[in-house]
Amino acid sequence: MYELIVFDWDGTLMDSEATIVNCLQMAARDLGIAEPGRERARNVIGLGLHQALASLFPASSDAEVDALAQQYRKHFLREDRAPSPLFPGARELLEELASRDYFLAVATGKSRQGLDMELEHSGLGAFFQATRCADEAFSKPHPQLLLDVLDHLGVASGQALVVGDTEYDMQMAANAGSDAIGVGFGVHSPERLREHGALTVVERLQHVSDWLAGVQQK
């Protein structure tokens, strides 16, 4: 049924919520802007950086959003920052799906520089046949990130499954004509994921493989 599994990155494969929230708050402090609380900051994870900042700081001008983005990148990309951990089972899931001959890809709100850094730190880069970032296409929930991956790999939208932790992932999949499932340990609640089209919500990454096995047997 599915040939391609497209993963979100932050909150789905990598437990980077605390790092992202901290960098958003530090960027605001750098510019003397009232820093957002944790819940407001985590709610925009998954969007492209400029879209996330514009949503988080709606009174800011375009120039201020650009300045916030620059400060965020300074903190996120600094060489001495400890890498965020992968969620338990991430590597094992990718190994298993690769052994079952699925195409694997990433569609993320991260920048290309940010994703490449995390792929190198995590050692997961070799698993993916395609990756697409928010500075290369319209941000989620627009479908371009996913459509670009589909076009690159020559896979029809109905043969792709998106795995993500936010409503933006679910909406991106729906807008591209693909299915999606949610992970319940990321930034948006299982109820919110189902409301926006998740076929199911799993509580552990290994359950993605279990779900796929059940679907393929039908």
Note the pTM of the prediction, 2 decimals: 0.93
Asked whether 115 and 106 are in contact (CB, 8 A), the reply is yes
Question: CA angle at residue 130 from 200 to 141, to 5 degrees?
Answer: 50
Q: Residue 9: which pLDDT band, with cuts at 50, 70 and 90?
A: very high
Q: Is the dihedral of CA 83, 141, 157, 213 positive or negative?
A: positive
Element (H, E) at 35: none
Residue 62: is its pLDDT beyond 90?
yes
Q: How far apart are CA 143 and CA 165, in angstroms?
A: 16
Q: Residue 217: which pLDDT band, with cuts at 50, 70 and 90?
A: low
pLDDT at 115: 96
Q: What is the mean pLDDT of residues 206-214?
A: 94
Main-chain phi, psi angles of 201, to 5 degrees? -130, 125
pLDDT at 83: 83
Residue 176: is its pLDDT beyond 70?
yes
Strands (E), the chain: 4-7, 103-108, 130-133, 160-164, 179-183, 201-202
Active site residues: 8, 10
Map out the domains of the chain with their CATH numbers.
4-15+86-217 (3.40.50.1000), 17-76 (1.10.150)
pLDDT at 82: 81
Residue 17: is its pLDDT beyond 70?
yes
Q: What is the mean pLDDT of residues 42-69?
A: 95
What confidence tens digit (pLDDT) does each residue in 145-161 have? 999 999 999 999 999 99
Q: What is the mean pLDDT of residues 121-128?
A: 96
Residue labelled with tokens 């789905």: 12
- C-alpha R_g of the chain: 17
Q: Is 72 left (phi over 0), alpha (psi -120 to 50) or beta?
A: alpha
Residue 215: is its pLDDT beyond 90?
no
Q: Residue 218: which pLDDT band, with cuts at 50, 70 and 90?
A: low
pLDDT at 81: 78
Residue 54: is its pLDDT beyond 80?
yes
